């Protein structure tokens, strides 16, 4: 099983005022080390979000990042992730309702 603090990494930037993302998604795989899964760039708007198909030597699957309005009138960043990782197995993040896992609140 993956350690959520060290083995999945999203590195990049988010423009909260425009609800856009430009980032790279990485995973740390035993023996192989840190592997870039995909680059993400685009709008985080709720219905569309940014979706990437992942097909690298260490993993395949998909990742989606999107923003949802919250009660304060701002937005929260969400992720849906489904991967099959070599030497690890299936990894997913979809939240309890299956509609995405909240990553953090945007300023």
Contact 68, 76 (CB under 8 A): yes
Could you read off the pLDDT of 80-96 as tens digits, one per residue? 988 898 777 888 877 77
Could you read off the pLDDT of 34-77 as tens digits, one per residue? 888 899 999 998 668 999 999 988 889 999 999 999 999 899 99
Domains of the chain by residue range: 8-105
- State yes or no: pLDDT of 102 exceeds 50: yes
Give the separation between CA 33 and CA 83, rounded to whole angstroms.
Answer: 17
The whole model's pTM is what?
0.80
């Amino acid at each position: 099983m993956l350690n959520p603090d060290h083995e999945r990494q999203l590195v990049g930037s988010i423009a909260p005022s425009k609800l856009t993302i430009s980032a790279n998604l990485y995973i740390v795989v035993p023996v192989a080390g840190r592997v870039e899964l995909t680059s993400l760039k685009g709008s985080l708007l709720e219905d569309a979000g940014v979706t990437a198909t992942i097909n690298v030597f260490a993993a395949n699957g998909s990742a989606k990042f999107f923003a949802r309005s919250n009660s304060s009138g701002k937005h929260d960043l969400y992720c849906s992730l489904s991967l099959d990782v070599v030497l690890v197995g299936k990894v997913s993040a979809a939240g309890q309702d299956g509609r995405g896992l909240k990553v953090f609140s945007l300023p």
